[in-house]
Amino acid sequence: METIQTDIVIIGAGYAGIAAAKKLLEKGKDFVVVEARDRIGGRTHTQTLDCGATIDVGAQWIGPTQHHIWKWVKETNTETYDTYDSGKNILSWKNKISTYKGTIPKIDPISLIDLGLAIDKINKLCKQIPLEAPWSHPKAKEFDSITLHSWIEKNMFTKKAKHLFNIGVETVFAAESHEISLLHALFYCHSGDNMEALISIANGAQQTLLKGGTHGMLQKVALPFQDKIYLNNPVLKITQDENIVVVETENVIVKAKKCIATLPPTLLSTIKFHPILPQRKAQLIQRVPMGAAMKCFCIYDTPFWRKLGFSGQIVSDTSPVKVTFDCTDAVTDKGVLLVFVEGNNARNFIELPEAVRKEKVLSELVKYFGNEAKNIIEYKDKCWTEEEFSRGCYAGNMPTGVLTQFGKSLREPFMHVHFAGTETAMRWNGYMDGAIESGFRAVDEVLKTLS
Ligand SMILES: Cc1cc2nc3c(=O)[nH]c(=O)nc-3n(C[C@H](O)[C@H](O)[C@H](O)COP(=O)(O)OP(=O)(O)OC[C@H]3O[C@@H](n4cnc5c(N)ncnc54)[C@H](O)[C@@H]3O)c2cc1C
């Protein structure tokens, strides 16, 4: 067993942990990072396939108002490219296929008005939610007592628009609308500008991709301090008294003055705290379930759908192919169609054998793009609910009653332990940018108490 003495110990080497480490390095502080996995990156993971194409099985896109991550893109000289967004998008509804352009599918005028008004209402409501304290809004209790699903049922009147709105919700939260509190949904939309930005490519969260992937960029950021990162070390126990915090894994004991824990809230419950966490924090971490999402990648020699005039984007009312994007690899030009399976569909789909999943995805794609869609050179899918050190994605979602009763405990330090991670972010909560913000904020807290 190795014993390490340092000033600050960071738990987790995802975007939040690496952001905290980067800032501490810049401030000339002594620190180590303890990471459970055999790699850094957490919910980002860039993989190079046998055919040479690079894919992000975790987070991949960045949006124009995500300023922290853009700064890293520039600092690391990472090349970016726009998500392919030209040509016809496909809407498949009750087995009828039509095409459209832009973010909102071409539907009948009544449903279109219904959908537009609902997005408008959410955008207006969300702007009122204070990002630093959503629970302080005068109607916080009211908003936190109903699910987003209840709001949809009360405020929308056409079946089609409700269904499309719910597909948007699944895409943004990787959860069903009945799993999320309205207050959480409003906070999340405001945190990421508004609902339109969250669902859009142009000027939205899906606008830009990184050459070499998001995990690739993080490795560049972490290069100057990689010797301070202890991989393969799941933290099991945190003990503290008035002078010291001790973080233990099976292989190392780290003695420090301060600790920054960057795990998603629900994973904090896998660590034994001595003394135990304050009761409100302990209750909070029992109540922030991770969403469920699966990414299925179909790789082709070329993005053949482009020459047929398609963008590669599909919206459909039937799983598994409900939402797709063209994520063609800019380095090899291999055509990459990315199929998202989210919420309960993801939980069901991952239980099928891989060969069946592949067959189901391809037979759906053939319906839209013809037999050429069968000619994949590689298939890869990934479900994040199976990951021991994530347990789901894209982030933790708050069900009803959680933000108002427990929200204050999200960022509240416990003795020497400070809490970061995208779930604690104010801007771009749930995204890589929010994770960076949270790591920087936790460092500011720690340095203030140390001085
Ligand atoms: C499929 C998918 C698609 C996504 N798409 C996007 C996107 O396009 N754009 C975007 O901005 N965001 C996206 N996200 C969300 C984004 O990945 C996260 O917001 C961000 O990576 C969170 O970073 P974090 O550091 O807060 O948490 P994490 O990345 O979860 O980091 C926490 C770290 O703690 C480690 N850990 C866990 N338990 C322990 C333990 N006991 N001891 C030590 N270490 C531990 C984990 O291994 C992990 O490395 C996506 C996520 C997924 C999975």
Reported as a pLDDT band with limits 50, 70 and 90, residue 270 is very high
Pairing, β 96-100 against β 61-62: unpaired
pLDDT at 429: 98
Mean pLDDT of 244-258: 98
Please give the pLDDT value at position 201.
95
Residues lining ligand 1, judged by CB closer than 6 Å?
A: 11-17, 34-37, 42-44, 58-61, 234-235, 262-264, 267, 270-271, 293, 295, 384, 389-390, 393-395, 421-422, 430-433, 435
Predicted TM-score of the model (pTM): 0.97
Mean pLDDT of 261-278: 98
Closest CA to 92 of 371, 292, 298, 367: 367
Q: Tell me the pairing of strands 335-342 and 323-326.
A: antiparallel
- Indicate whether 451 pLDDT > 90: no
Question: Which atom belonging to ligand 1 lies closest to the Cα atom of 430?
Answer: 19
pLDDT tens, position by position, 351-361: 999 999 999 99
The residue whose two tokens read 């100057």 is 224
| Residue whose CB lies within 8 A of the most ligand 1 atoms, among 285, 394, 418, 428, for a mutation test | 394
Instruction: Give the CB-side neighbour count of residue 20, counting CA atoms within 13 A.
Output: 37
Query: Tens of pLDDT along 110-122?
Result: 999 999 999 999 9
- The pLDDT value recorded for residue 11 is 98
Ligand 1, atom 50: nearest CA belongs to which residue? 59
Quote the pLDDT of residue 347. 95
Atom 29 of ligand 1: nearest residue by CA position: 42
Residue 42 Cα to ligand 1 midpoint, Å, equals 4
**CA distance linking residue 326 with residue 305, whole number of Å:** 9
Token pair recorded at residue 439: 């790591």
Residue 48 above 90 pLDDT? yes
Please tell me the distance from the alpha carbon of residue 227 to that of residue 292, in angstroms, as a whole number. Answer: 33
How many CA atoms within 13 Å lie on the side-chain side of 140? 17
pLDDT band at 105 (very low <50, low <70, confident <90, very high): confident
Amino acid at 395: A
Confidence of residue 250 (pLDDT cuts 50, 70, 90): very high
Say how far residue 431 (Cα) sits from the centre of its chain: 5
Atom of ligand 1 nearest to the CA of 438: 26
pLDDT per residue as tens digits for the range 138-162: 999 999 999 999 999 999 999 999 9
Angle between helices 159-173 and 182-191 (to 10 degrees): 60
Assess whether pLDDT exceeds 90 at residue 319: no
- 3-state SS of 127-148? HCCCCCCHHHCCCHHHHHCCEH
- Give pLDDT, residue 81: 96
Give the mutation target among 43, 252, 428 for probing the ligand 1 site: most ligand atoms within 8 A of CB.
43
Whether the per-residue pLDDT at 106 is higher than 90: the answer is no
Residue 103 has a pLDDT of: 79
All structural domains of the chain: 2-42+214-289+398-450 (3.50.50.60), 80-85+205-210+291-386 (3.90.660.10), 106-199 (1.10.405.10)
Q: How confident is the model at residue 407, as a pLDDT?
A: 97
Q: List the residue whose alpha carbon is closest to atom 34 of ligand 1.
A: 12
**Atom 6 of ligand 1: nearest residue by CA position:** 59
Q: Is the pLDDT of residue 310 over 90?
A: yes
Structure confidence by residue, pLDDT tens digits, 378-432? 999 999 999 999 999 999 999 999 999 999 999 999 999 999 999 999 999 999 9
Per-residue pLDDT of 325-339, as tens digits, reads 999 999 999 999 999
- Are the beta carbons of 30 and 7 closer than 8 angstroms? yes
Residue 89 sits at the vertex; the CA angle it makes with 88 and 92, to the nearest 5 degrees, is 130
